[in-house]
Structures are given as C-alpha cells and as structure tokens.
C-alpha cells in the first residue's frame, strides 16, 4: 500500500519532468599566434568548471566559413535546468575573462538547439568523433515544410545506415534545423562510393522520380544551406 501511495505522489513530478534535449553551442576563434595558449587555457577551464550536465565537448571546425574555429557544446540540458542554473561563480567568470578572452579573436557566437528524436536516426548522446553538420535555414513561413522534408529523409538515412541527429534552431537567429551526420566509420563515409547517391536511395524509398519532386519542394522551402566538418578534441573537453 505504501508503494502505491508513493507512486501516486510521484505522478505530478513525472508529468512535469523535462527531457534533456537542449544543447548550448558556442563558436570561438583563437588568435593566430595564440593557438597553443588558447587550447591550454580552454582545456583547463572545461575540466575545472564544466562537469555533469554542464560538461563541454570541444570540436575543431575543419571546413566551411568558420574553418579554424572551435565548436563548444554544453549539455544536453532542459530549459528548466538552464533557468535554475543560477549565477556563474566569480572564479569561473574570472578564469574565462582573464585567461581565455585575451586569446580570442572577435566575438564568436552562441546558439541553442533542441534535439528532434522523431526526425533522427540516432540517440542524442550516441556520439562519434567526426561529424558533418548540415545547416538549413527556412524561407519565411516555410519552417513546417522544412520539417516535413527532413522527416522524409529519415527513411532514406535509415536504409543507408546513416547516423543522423537532427536539431531545431531555438531562439538563435532565423528558423531552421541542423542535421548532424555522425561519421561512425570516419571520413571514409564521405567517399562517393561508400553509399549509393542520395537521389538513388530516395527513389528506392519513395518511387522513381520522387527525388526530383523533393528537390523542387526543397528549393521552395529552404533559404540557405551550408555544411561543415567537425572533429572531436577530447583533450580540450571536460573530463
């Protein structure tokens, strides 16, 4: 009886609990002549101040417009836990301002992304050491169309055994999604002969000529698309 009573007492808490799906992402750029100092300071900061839900995974950006920069991911968290995070300690702020900021070029950027399990073929925390990020910005009023176009790709990704994590852009600029292809077999997955072309696989899944229709719809829904390759740097990340 006591167990049943305890279960009923827990129901309100279970109903209001939030799933950890929110990633906080920062992009920073070291000064050209300060890279070694920057990496040492960044690793020290991550390993001293970022633990548990606030752990950092640090990546080098290997291609695209931010080539040479660093991608820092924190989380996953819930919005509620971020809301209740409280003030960052004085020691944390001092370490960032005194030991890292003087080594950074420019302002960098910060974004929030929310994991979309229903659009993905992999669990949020089932990471790989190399990944390609496909950034998709929707045309005005077309974000639902971008979501549906991405949903159709999921079937193709699953057939090709692609590990793709999809995130919605949250309160961080124009509406859109990112599709992160986690390269479990490394860069060889990027070879043209590793998998059949996307068009062929799409037509196999949806019928002859289906990919041409998808491309037409994509052109009407998507404002901007760009990609980048990132590589995980465990030595710079939280331990």
Retrieve residue 164's tokens.
């793709």
Please check whether residue 35 is in contact with residue 126, taking contact to mean a CB–CB distance below 8 angstroms. no
pLDDT digits (tens, 9 = 90+) for 32-90: 999 999 999 999 999 999 999 899 999 999 999 999 999 999 999 999 999 987 667 89
The pLDDT of residue 17 is: 56
Contact indicator for 166, 120 with CB cutoff of 8 Å? yes
**Mean pLDDT, all residues of the chain:** 92
**Nearest alpha-carbon partner for 56 in 72, 44, 70:** 72
Q: What is the pTM of this model?
A: 0.90
Is the dihedral angle over the CA atoms 172, 61, 82, 75 positive or is it negative?
positive
Is the pLDDT reported for residue 8 higher than 60? no
d(CA 113, CA 142): 18
Contact between 27 and 66 under an 8 Å Cβ cutoff? The reply is yes
* pLDDT above 80: residue 13: no
Whether residue 194 has pLDDT greater than 60: yes
Dihedral over alpha carbons 158, 213, 145, 136 (to 10 degrees): 70
What's the rounded mean pLDDT across residues 138-163? 98
Ordered structural domains, the chain, with CATH:
22-112 (3.30.70.100), 114-231 (3.30.70.100)
Q: What are the E-state strand segments in the chain? A: 22-28, 56-61, 70-77, 109-115, 130-138, 163-170, 176-182, 222-232
What percent of the chain shows pLDDT beyond 70?
A: 92
**pLDDT the model gives residue 193:** 94
Q: How confident is the model at residue 162 (pLDDT cuts 50, 70, 90)?
A: very high
Bridge partners of residue 231, in order along the sequence: 60, 130
**Burial environment of residue 92 by CB neighbours within 10 A (0 to 12, 13 to 18, 19 or more):** middle
């Amino acid at each position: 009886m006591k167990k049943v009573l305890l279960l009923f007492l827990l129901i309100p808490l279970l109903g209001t609990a939030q799933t950890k799906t929110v990633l906080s992402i920062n992009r920073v750029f070291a000064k050209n002549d300060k890279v070694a100092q920057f990496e040492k300071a960044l690793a020290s900061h991550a390993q001293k101040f970022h633990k548990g839900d606030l752990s950092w995974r640090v990546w080098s950006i290997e291609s695209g417009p931010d080539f040479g920069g660093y991608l820092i991911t924190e989380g996953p968290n819930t919005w509620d836990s971020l809301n209740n995070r409280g003030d960052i300690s004085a020691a944390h702020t001092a370490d960032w301002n005194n030991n890292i900021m003087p080594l950074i070029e420019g302002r960098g950027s910060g974004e929030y992304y929310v994991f979309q399990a229903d659009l993905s073929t992999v669990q949020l925390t089932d990471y790989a050491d190399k990944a390609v990020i496909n950034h998709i910005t929707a045309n005005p009023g077309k974000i639902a169309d971008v979501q549906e176009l991405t949903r159709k790709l999921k079937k193709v990704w699953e057939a090709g055994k692609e590990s793709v994590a999809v995130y919605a852009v949250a309160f961080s600029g124009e509406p859109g999604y990112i599709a992160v292809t986690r390269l479990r077999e490394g860069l060889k997955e990027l070879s043209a002969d590793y998998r059949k072309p996307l068009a062929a696989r799409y037509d196999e899944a949806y019928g002859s000529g289906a990919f041409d229709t998808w491309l037409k719809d994509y052109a009407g829904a998507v404002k901007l698309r760009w990609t980048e390759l990132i590589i995980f740097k465990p030595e710079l990340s939280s331990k």
